[in-house]
A = this chain, B = another copy of it.
């Protein structure tokens, strides 16, 4: 059996309070006493029982991250960034997938094990961006709507920069792949706006046949929609895909038709997945500041957990992006 506080106390010949004080670096302990306790801890190999501590303090040191699926590299890389950030805050991460059998029910039961949660999207069908952070219902005051922080990226500005990058290359017939015609909010509409702003600033009229809607932001739909675009005989010399998966799909469709990238068509994506570095050709993309988003979201959540009595106001933060130039938009 693992040693307990009282085992250590017995050996050191002190009370458990003193041992506890030593563990918590309580200032006023006589050096000799402290040493005796330290020796006893050493001798017994004592490790505080976290479960007991949790019961007492009401905190677990665990946060959950809810993502649709880890199979999608975007979420896998986000998860990695969150775990790194959590490590720095001394928190552990319980990952949950929201796409899946009993999503809601399972999450509710696990909500008790965590101090707070991070969501990568709000709804099931929404591919929103960034991270939402809120206290676990257990810690939350519980009254009314929970306070949620949001850390996000510059969707519009980044796609605008991507589009202007192609325009700067002399491209004039630039397709936007990934539009969601119905959407009035969310990543798709923000990114479409950026595309439009770039065209407008360049004095180019938007052509309906170049704005390509897709059902999902996957490689599959990226390839299918690009194929359709080409099959329709639409003239294209540039493609701004609303994420890397779509761009990778586009690359595949272009390759299959024997269309050379970047000689005939320039392609740029959004996300800066590891994969994009290794595609053929390597994909130019927007690096949306994933590490920073993860770090800030975890930090804000940690603050919220620390200040659980005095609820913090909800905050919204937006982080800067960078444009990464690779082969797919090299100068012809």
A311 at the interface (CB under 8 A from B): no
Say which one of A76-84, A121-129, A146-154, A174-182 lies at the interface with B: A76-84
User: Cβ of A239 < 8 Å from any Cβ of B?
Assistant: no
Expressed in whole angstroms, the Cα–Cα distance for A95 and B81 within the complex equals 13
Minimum CB distance partner of A223 in chain B: B278
Which chain B positions have C-beta within 8 A of A280? 251-252, 255-256, 280
How many interface residues does A have (CB within 8 Å)? 54
Q: Which B residues are CB-close (under 8 A) to A252? A: 278-280
Kindly report which residue of chain B lies nearest to residue A88, judged by CB atoms: B101
Q: Is A313 an interface residue (CB 8 A)?
A: no
Q: Which of the residues B2, B83, B101, B251 comes within 8 Å of A138, measured between beta carbons?
A: B2
Let me know if B80 and A70 touch, CB within 8 A.
yes
Q: Which residues of B contact A264 (CB under 8 A)?
A: none
Stretch at the interface among A4-12, A13-21, A44-52, A199-207: A44-52
| A249 to B109 CA separation, bound complex (whole angstroms) | 43
Residues of B within 8 Å of A40, CB to CB, are none
For A113, give its contact among B1, B62, B102 (CB under 8 Å): B62
Interface of A toward B, CB cutoff 8 Å: 1-2, 47, 49-52, 54-55, 58, 60-62, 69-71, 73, 76-77, 79-80, 83-84, 87, 92-97, 100-102, 106, 109-110, 112-113, 138, 142, 219-220, 223, 248-249, 251-252, 255-256, 274-275, 278-280
